[in-house]
Structure 1
């Protein structure tokens, strides 16, 4: 499945919706899409990963670096409804506990306070 990453700013929350295969071929575009939408003011960040069909170490790298970036800026960070392929990679890499995981975002609208 073809990779895509879109973003939507809603109030104090930035939601990235990621779909398709997040692999070596897509990771540079993934990083570019994240950087292009990164807010200038502190904003909580959620990645909706429900539509990700494949995630490799390079895609995971983008998520970890973005989580660290959010942390350095005192912003919340969460993964929303990660798909089975995403959960499997997080578990295999031993990084599951690094991420806050929330349920699905209702109707594409972010929960007003999903990040703790």
Structure 2
């Protein structure tokens, strides 16, 4: 079996850190994801956004890792946000019953509100 690796890119935008993922989140790659998010949390962001747009697979270890990372963010007084979830990941979170425990947004970065959006 050929195992696809997990590529992780981290960058900062205003008060949040974006962790862009490409590949598989599983038993072999979950610890790398945890390390990247732990390092991001050490920089004291308001939010850590996991850009899941390039994730092709996530097993039970991956789901468990997401839950642990969400709790770690809460302990660090930050919010873990899942973004760019494909149909597969949306179904997985729904079927597993844990989807409601995450902050989910459509895109990794939020657009600045325009004049028409400001109150």
For this structure pair, what is the TM-score category when the shorter chain's length is used for normalisation? 0.7 to 0.9
Q: Where do residues 40-55 of structure 1 align in structure 2 (5 Å cutoff)? A: 40-55=43-58
Q: Is the contact made by 1:55 and 1:85 (CA closer than 8 Å) also made in structure 2?
A: no
Residue-by-residue CA offset, 1:27-82 (whole Å, 9 max, x unaligned) = 12222222233333242111110111000111112211111112223222211111
**1:73 maps to what in 2?**
76
Q: Could you tell me how far apart the structure 1 residues matched to 2:63 and 2:93 are?
A: 8
For the structure 1 residues 112 and 69, does the alpha-carbon distance in structure 2 shift closer, same or farther, using more than 3 Å as the test?
farther
User: Structure 1 runs of 4+ off > 4 angstroms?
Assistant: none
TM-score (norm 1): 0.81
- Matched residues, number: 109
Alpha-carbon distance in 2 for matches of 1:62, 1:33:
12
Asked if the contact 1:19/1:49 (under 8 Å) is kept, the reply is yes
Unaligned runs of 5+ in 2: 113-119
From the CA coordinates, give the structure whose radius of gyration is larger.
2
Q: Flag the structure with more relative contact order, 1 or 2, with Cα contacts below 8 A and sequence separation at least 6.
A: 1
Normalized against structure 2, the TM-score is what?
A: 0.79
